[in-house]
Structure formats: structure tokens, C-alpha cells
Amino acid sequence: MVAAVFLDKDGTLVVDVPYNVDPDRMALMPGAGEALRRLSDAGYELIVVSNQSGVARGLFAESALSAVEQRLREMLAEYGAALSGFYYCPHHPAGAVSEYAVECDCRKPAPGLILRAAAEHGIDFSGSWMIGDILNDVEAGRRAGCRTILLDNGNETEWELSRERLPDCVVSDLRHAADRILRSRSAANLSSHGKLPELSLG
């Protein structure tokens, strides 16, 4: 069993361009590449979990997301970070395309994408995190059993709070999120080894 960092895509990992599937318009959020390299170097699996209702709304074909995934992998590889998985929900109950206009268990805040990714990658939730820029991401992570980080970068506008939507911490960007995760792991490792023996000065 391994630990993972699950990441929302738009507004968290990449600059939010609404309903964009043009790889040439994709750009990583400031500091994202370095942050994910540090997490990857620490042994975390990096897995994107993203709502893509543009499919259900008829704005682009589901097949267009393959190029998005490929570009995302390329951008992260430039920083030495490997993406372990790319999971998306194409549904929306009010969609215009009947095939995708359904209630589902994968559209965040439901935890379906995270649960599926964890089952396929052998993820241990107790050491895993979900990072997103809105509280739906937080809720999805908490319902799956992850610790959660909210990027408070202005994208959450509704602030509908409940016990399930309270993040473990709030930071401004992915650099600070990586700091928080790595500090938490270091503290856990120290705790698991117990107290150091007292030194005798003779």
C-alpha cells in the first residue's frame, strides 16, 4: 500500500480556463511543477481527479481529454514529476448530452473518482491527501478517507460549510501544500520511532 496526493485539475494544478481542452492553452499554476516534484521524490503517487462536465454539456467530446492528459504529463515531466493517474467525471445531471446527463457517484463532491483510483493503484488513504481549490474537492477527499488541503486562491465563492467540508488545512498555493504534507510525514515518522534515548553525560 502506498500514499497518494490526489489533485483537482482546473484552478489547482493548472490555470483555470473554463471548459478548455486545447493543450496549447494549458499552463501549470505558479510553483506547481516544483511542488509536485518534491511530493513525487518523497514517494507519493500523484493522481488527478477532475470534474469535466463540458462533456455532458456538449462543449467537447470525451475523447478530447486524452490530449489534455498527455499535455499534463508532459508539463509535469519537465519538472521531474510523474503523474500516476488521470481520472475524470464526464457527467452532469443537467447536461445536454443524454448519455452523460445522469446522477453519478464520480462527480465531486462524491468520492467515486478517488475510490476508483485508490483501488486501481493500491492506495492507503491513511497517508494520503486531497488538494483542491473549492470545498467540493475537500468533501470528496474527506468522504474517501483522505486528509485534505484547500487552496484558498479565490475560486471558492459559495463557502457552504459542514463537517465534511472542513479541510485539515488551508494554504495559498501548491508550494505551501507540499510543505504541509512533507512536514506532516516527517512528524509522523519521528512519532513512529518513539522518543530518542536519553544521553548520559557521565
Active-site residues, by number, are 8, 10
Coil, helix or strand for 152?
coil
Coil, helix or strand for 129?
strand
Q: How far apart are CA 54 and CA 100, in angstroms?
A: 10
Inter-residue contact 126 to 145 (CB < 8 Å): yes
Q: How far apart are CA 150 and CA 133, in angstroms?
A: 6
Inter-residue contact 174 to 12 (CB < 8 Å): yes
